[in-house]
Amino acid sequence: MVRTLLVRGLLLGLLAGLVAGVFAFAVGEPRIDDAIALENAAAAPGHGAAAEPESATHGHESGTHEQETGKHEHGEEVSRGTQKAGLFLATGLYGLAVGGVFALAFAGLRGRVGPRSDAALALAAAGTAFAAVIVVPFLKYPANPPAVGDPETINTRTLLYLAMIGVGLLSTAIAVTTARSVRGGPWARWPAAVLAFVVPVAVASLLLPTVDEVPDGFPATLLWQFRITSLGTQLVFWASFGTLFGWFCDRAARAPAPAPA
């Protein structure tokens, strides 16, 4: 049973990752190209290159070991064409990893928390995961295109991002516990659950430091388009994965029941 769910999660996660990759390729790559074009224009001689002395140009080979993060010499190690193919590798492997973890969480939740039907549970769990793990960190630390962000702060930003994922998961647990303990029907339960989710997220967002590394003069429209596209990529992934996983569960349930183990 667990094995079946895990295999299903891995395969459907991979598939949904590739679907999200198609969306990201079609809608997102033009935005990335625009951002890189701006970055290259800014790095051109006599156009503010002095403001970015070392970080924009030094390669991986040359630098010290621990701060080996600052580079954007696209076309040196990996060409843009290869990076665009790498996009599908990234979203596919992301889907594989997420799908596997989701399937095991699903196996644990099944019959304990959430809707009784597998299909409804799959959709509810995917929607909840999207809200907790994607939307919550996005609201505080939204996605940035290349050319936005200080390479020196990547470790700090990664930790803050992980902290917001933790906040999202913890708030979900608080909301579920609240929903289960409140009496008085759905009109009491739902607002209580939403409040129990939103309040910790809002408090954490206010307490955690803000990151503002958008360069002066970076077009606001391009930033907005990139951020929406990034959120859209995750939405495509979670919507297709939740639907596929639920659909396969539903199909399996309609098949003749296996002999009880």
Partner 1 sequence: MSTLSARHIPLSHLVPWLLAVPALLLLGYLVLMDNGAVSQTGGYLHELMHDGRHLLGVPCH
- Interacting residues with partner 1 (CB under 8 A): 1-3, 6, 21, 24, 28-29, 32, 60-61, 68-72, 74, 77-78, 82-84, 86-91, 93-94, 96-98, 100-101, 104, 107-108, 110-112, 116, 134, 137-138, 141-146, 149, 151, 154-155, 157-158, 160-161, 226, 229-231, 233-234, 257
225 residue type, one letter: Q
- Tokens for 119, please give them: 């299909």
Q: Report residue 187: phi and psi, to 5°.
A: -70, -20
- Tokens for 188, please give them: 């009491």
Query: Minimum distance between the CB of residue 9 and partner 1, rounded to whole angstroms?
Result: 10
Query: Minimum distance between the CB of residue 107 and partner 1, rounded to whole angstroms?
Result: 5
CA-CA-CA-CA dihedral for 170, 91, 103, 12, to nearest 10: 150
3-state SS of 138-156 is HHHCCCCCCCCCCHHHHHH
Residue linked to tokens 């002999």: 259
Query: Minimum distance between the CB of residue 54 and partner 1, rounded to whole angstroms?
Result: 14
Residue linked to tokens 């960190």: 137
Complex with partner 1: residue 126 or 134, whichever CB lies closer: 134
Query: Minimum distance between the CB of residue 14 and partner 1, rounded to whole angstroms?
Result: 11
Complex with partner 1: residue 62 or 199, whichever CB lies closer: 62
- Tokens for 249, please give them: 């569960």
13 residue type, one letter: G
Contact 236, 125 (CB under 8 A): no
Complex with partner 1: residue 217 or 260, whichever CB lies closer: 260
- Tokens for 90, please give them: 């990234």
| Cα dist from 36 to 29, 40, 148, whole Å | 10, 6, 10
Complex with partner 1: residue 23 or 197, whichever CB lies closer: 23
Complex with partner 1: residue 32 or 175, whichever CB lies closer: 32
The Cβ-side half-sphere exposure at 128, using a 13 Å CA radius, reads: 24
Query: Minimum distance between the CB of residue 252 and partner 1, rounded to whole angstroms?
Result: 13
Complex with partner 1: residue 97 or 176, whichever CB lies closer: 97
- Tokens for 54, please give them: 């070392």
Query: Minimum distance between the CB of residue 180 and partner 1, rounded to whole angstroms?
Result: 13
